Amino acid sequence: MSVIKRRQFVRTALAALPAATLPFGKLFAASASATVEDVEAVTNDGKQLVLKGADVKDLAARMRGELLLRNSAGYDGARRIWNAAFDRHPALIARCSGAADVMEAVKFAAANQLLLAVRGGGHSLSGQSVCEKGLMLDLSQMNGAHVDPVKRIATIEGGALLGALDRESLVHGLATTAGTVSHTGVGGLTLGGGFGRLGRRFGLTCDNVRSIDLITADGKFVTASASQNKDLLWGLRGGGGNFGVATSFEFQLHPVDPIMVGGELAYSFADAPDMLKFFFDFAMQAPDDLNLDASLVRLPNDVRFFTIDVCYSGPRGNVDKVLAPLRSFRKPIRDTIATVPYVQLQASGDEGAAVGRRYYIKGGFVQQPSQGLIDTMLATIAEANLPVVQAIAMPQGGGAYARVKVDATAFAQRAAPFNLFVFSAWDDAAQGDAVGNWARTSWKKLEPHTRGFYVNEFNDDAHRMRETYGGNYDRLAALKGKFDPNNLFRMNANVPPKRA
């Protein structure tokens, strides 16, 4: 019996027990007979709301997972997400154990018009997965991953992390595109697109989705695939969390060599002006099996440099030839390129993006790199002077991302050869305003060099949604109108519903 099937079997068996004997799923560890006080909350349009204690207790009784209140054990840990800049207190946290719990939680939120946040891996850069005084629907316990090596299919639960997808796949010499930090969630990343070290070969993560099980705003379970709800699958491939809660994903896997070549090439800041121009030209001609994620970085100790994260997944004998231009145009000050298990490479950025620090990110897509862009980037990093990490990242696009037709999925920014974002990481809450000012001022100068933005880097970008989805926007808004006419799922890169 597979891991997921075994879990389902255990859950089904437990669900058959009378509620009083259930070992988990119980309300904040209180006894079944305890009275629950009314709970202060907010509606999804910001009005104050009081949830009746009896209704809250009833929801808890219908769930197998835990329902946490502010005074419950475990509440504080459950409300925290990757970005500590968002310190919010949901009225309720529904720690779902499976699709049935998700259905209950969604129905409860809809019936009460309760503000709803969906937490997959909790890596929303702008804190969309935790809400103040609403319901946080937490999928972190739904983290199973199962691979069928014969059919080359991975079945991944909606709250699983990328590390689970990679590890379970690579053990069979299989992989699909996953992001570059292993503690990021599969759910959010996939629904918004999904760029990664293998993406120039295999396309976006969402391009590799075969089917998705989804709980819609009316609490119904639907499957979106090539044969069922095809239109919905179109929207889920890039439309983010707008359509419901994905409880399970099925991915197409591809044979790969589990040992690849990767590491870092770093250059002095003095060489950055020449290297940036060279990098942009080189990257746009690179083979699909080479992935380059470059950044201009300034550290709190005032050290500045230009760095490229390299992954080469082609024939290992070719790597020196492929990388020779990057090594000879300017001499790297650090060269850590080596053969490495792909799973290890995929975790190499985990510490640099540790859970629980404060982060600010704002970005857009570059359609054509220009000297003006290069000059603006260099000036931004030259002038950076805060006691925090300040960087501009430019992950690569192109390859298979660009070979999918723009209207084949909701994700429309296929042609952009680079993503671009300003990035800052810090720990001291007192630095928040200064960092925010720096990032916003810098982005004002960089934004004119971009068109559209990556919805998985959604920040205060509501005004750029139409530009981002281009010709796909109206179809997406109509689909939203069909599946979520009251905009229950609004804590995301939101596409307001267009009613028929």
Query: Which residues of this protein are in contact with ligand FAD, per CB under 6 A?
Result: 81-82, 118-125, 128-129, 139, 158, 179-181, 184-185, 187-189, 191-196, 241, 245-246, 353, 456, 491-492
DSSP state of 288: T
Residue whose entry in the numeric block shows the structure tokens 């999925």: 409
CB of 59 to ligand FAD, least distance (A): 19
Report the distance separating Cα 490 and Cα 470, nearest Å.
20
CB of 183 to ligand FAD, least distance (A): 7
CB of 247 to ligand FAD, least distance (A): 7
CB of 473 to ligand FAD, least distance (A): 18
Three-state DSSP at 465 gives: helix
List the structure tokens of 23: 């070992």
Nearer to ligand FAD, 235 or 269 (CB): 235
Q: By C-alpha distance, which of 284, 300, 302, 301 is closest to 292?
A: 284
List the structure tokens of 451: 């068109």
Report the distance separating Cα 44 and Cα 128, nearest Å.
13
CB of 116 to ligand FAD, least distance (A): 9
Report the distance separating Cα 184 and Cα 91, nearest Å.
25
Angle value at C-alpha 367, between 446 and 278, nearest 5 degrees: 80
CB distance 97 to 25 below 8 Å: yes
DSSP state of 36: -
Nearer to ligand FAD, 125 or 290 (CB): 125
Nearer to ligand FAD, 442 or 494 (CB): 494
Cα separations in angstroms, 38 against 11, 27, 84, 91, 104 = 30, 14, 29, 11, 19
Report the distance separating Cα 234 and Cα 253, nearest Å.
19
Nearer to ligand FAD, 331 or 403 (CB): 403
Nearer to ligand FAD, 110 or 491 (CB): 491
CB of 254 to ligand FAD, least distance (A): 18
CB of 243 to ligand FAD, least distance (A): 8
Nearer to ligand FAD, 101 or 269 (CB): 101
Report the distance separating Cα 250 and Cα 156, nearest Å.
6
CB of 16 to ligand FAD, least distance (A): 27
**89 phi-psi bin (left φ>0, alpha ψ -120 to 50, beta other):** beta
Q: Is 352 exposed, middle or buried (0-12, 13-18, 19+ CB in 10 A)?
A: exposed
Nearer to ligand FAD, 351 or 433 (CB): 351
DSSP state of 43: B
Nearer to ligand FAD, 27 or 413 (CB): 413
Nearer to ligand FAD, 122 or 203 (CB): 122
CB of 349 to ligand FAD, least distance (A): 7
Report the distance separating Cα 163 and Cα 196, nearest Å.
13
Q: Is 380 exposed, middle or buried (0-12, 13-18, 19+ CB in 10 A)?
A: buried
